[in-house]
């Protein structure tokens, strides 16, 4: 097993309850003792311990955030900081591999390594959160429109697709976003499934990779309804051929059929691939596409998420906007590249969601975010930002847990006024 990395910090985050207060108190220094009561149960290298309360009521916690939204933003910020070391290790490993290959070929390894490192820096995507001032300049004078993937973008990727539930915090942010800007969910899921997961009116929904589109007013556009009988037949065949493979899931997305193999044992995944290949060979009216641990059968029509976004803007969204439309598409999957590729022609840009954006070299996206929590952070800014506050200051204030203008008199006597983000920056 790999050697355990040193424990950088421990964050204890809780609401107001006796059990939370007991834990907060147990992590406080005791007079005459080197370590706190509960610290005895933590590794010896856990040198940085924070206690943080959600809300401003009196508490033994040393820090606070105002609500669940700020807690999510804080966790996104800390998660991004924690992954930096892992990302650098991955990059160093990639460069070392090139060095080894160069040495084996009797090439100047140092020169190859330098070129590889320089190329990685040039091609790496910048975080959208770190470029908010630049983004604000680009969108000035335009009508923003947001297009959001669901799985891996608004919710984390999970083994079973049915377990990808949207948090109430994310739902409230997307709801608020839709009040200000046209907002669409563009998903590989069936349109009705996407609606059921979001539970929000007032959105545009493009399900089945854009083959089934619904507007906020109930208008509906279906691209390939004549393919439904073939897709139903393909679903039955897939279910029959994958029935003996543990963990294989077949999902009917109305205008596509998905074969999920995330929960399939490694040695049986090729059997899933072969089953999909056989069906495509038998049914030329369908084509196979790829996603994250999923094969999909779609109509052979020339249509994808990018074309769906173009259609939505041209036929519905533009008609309700006085200003030119500036689209922002956020997604994490291979299928979202179709939308990223058309963003430039539409006058907007794409944002890819990836744990390791600096390792991505083959995307048409312009910026990156590391997780659904960072997506929520970005959307929160556009949904709730104050026009009078510069964007970089607004996001910093969100993570810091309140306005710097708040007076010391408002603080609880039990709460230190420095927030976790401020304490972390001091290290």
Query: Which residues are known to be catalytic?
Result: 149
Alpha-carbon span 88 to 93, nearest angstrom: 8
Alpha-carbon span 316 to 339, nearest angstrom: 17
| E strand or H helix that includes residue 22 | helix 18-26
Distances (CA, A) of 340 to 135, 233, 377: 16, 32, 21
> Which phi and psi angles does 298 have, rounded to 5°?
-125, 160
Length of the chain in residues, anyone? 427
For residues 229 and 266, the answer to whether their CB atoms sit within 8 Å is no
Contacts by residues 193-197 (CB-CB < 8 Å, ≥ 24 positions apart): 193/253, 194/150, 197/150, 197/164, 197/165, 197/166
Alpha-carbon span 112 to 102, nearest angstrom: 7
Closest CA to 211 of 252, 249, 253: 253
In the block, which residue shows the tokens 């990156």? 368
Show the DSSP H helices in 243-327 as ranges.
269-282, 305-312
Alpha-carbon span 158 to 336, nearest angstrom: 18
- Give the full edge-to-edge strand order of the sheet including 220-222: 126-127, 367-369, 349-353, 325-331, 143-148, 183-186, 204-207, 212-214, 220-222
> Taking each helix axis from N to C terminus, what angle separates 372-384 and 391-400, rounded to the nearest 10 degrees?
120
Strand 212-214, strand 204-207: pairing: antiparallel
The CB-side HSE value for 78 (13 A sphere, CA atoms) comes to: 21
Show the DSSP H helices in 287-355 as ranges.
305-312, 337-343
């Amino acid at each position: 097993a790999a050697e355990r990395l040193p424990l950088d910090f421990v964050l204890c985050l809780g609401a107001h309850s006796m059990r939370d207060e007991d834990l907060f108190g147990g992590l406080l220094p005791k007079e005459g003792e080197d370590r706190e009561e509960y610290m005895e149960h933590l590794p010896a290298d856990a040198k940085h311990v924070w206690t943080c309360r959600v809300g401003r009521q009196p508490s033994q916690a040393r820090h606070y955030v105002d609500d669940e939204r700020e807690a999510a933003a804080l966790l996104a910020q800390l998660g991004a900081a924690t992954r930096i070391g892992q990302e650098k290790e991955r990059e160093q490993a990639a460069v070392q591999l090139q060095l080894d290959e160069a040495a084996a070929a009797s090439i100047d390894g140092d020169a190859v390594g330098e070129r590889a490192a320089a190329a990685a820096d040039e091609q790496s995507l910048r975080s959208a959160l770190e470029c908010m001032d630049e983004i604000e300049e680009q969108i000035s004078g335009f009508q923003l429109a947001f297009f959001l993937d669901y799985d891996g973008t608004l919710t984390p990727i999970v083994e079973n697709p049915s377990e990808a539930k949207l948090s109430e915090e994310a739902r409230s942010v997307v709801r608020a976003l839709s009040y200000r800007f046209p907002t669409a969910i563009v998903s590989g899921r069936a349109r009705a499934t996407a609606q059921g997961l979001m539970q929000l009116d007032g959105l545009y929904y493009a399900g089945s990779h854009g083959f089934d589109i619904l507007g906020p007013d109930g208008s509906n556009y279906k691209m390939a309804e004549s393919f439904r009988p073939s897709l139903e037949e393909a679903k039955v065949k897939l279910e029959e051929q994958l029935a003996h493979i543990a963990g294989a899931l077949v999902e009917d997305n109305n205008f596509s059929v998905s074969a999920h193999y995330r929960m399939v044992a490694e040695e049986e995944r090729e059997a899933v691939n072969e089953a999909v290949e056989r069906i495509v060979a038998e049914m030329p009216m369908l084509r196979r596409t790829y996603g994250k641990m999923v094969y999909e059968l779609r109509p052979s029509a020339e249509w994808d998420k990018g074309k769906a976004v173009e259609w939505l803007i041209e036929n519905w969204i533009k008609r309700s906007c006085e200003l030119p439309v500036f689209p922002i598409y956020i997604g994490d999957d291979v299928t979202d590249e179709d939308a990223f590729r058309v963003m430039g022609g539409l006058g907007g840009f794409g944002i890819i969601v990836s744990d390791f954006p600096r390792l991505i070299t083959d995307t048409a996206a312009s910026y990156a975010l590391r997780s659904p929590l960072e997506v929520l952070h970005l959307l929160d800014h556009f949904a709730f930002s104050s026009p009078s506050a510069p964007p970089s200051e607004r996001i910093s204030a969100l993570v810091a847990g309140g306005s710097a203008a708040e007076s010391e008199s408002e603080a609880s006597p039990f709460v230190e006024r420095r927030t976790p983000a401020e304490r972390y920056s001091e290290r």
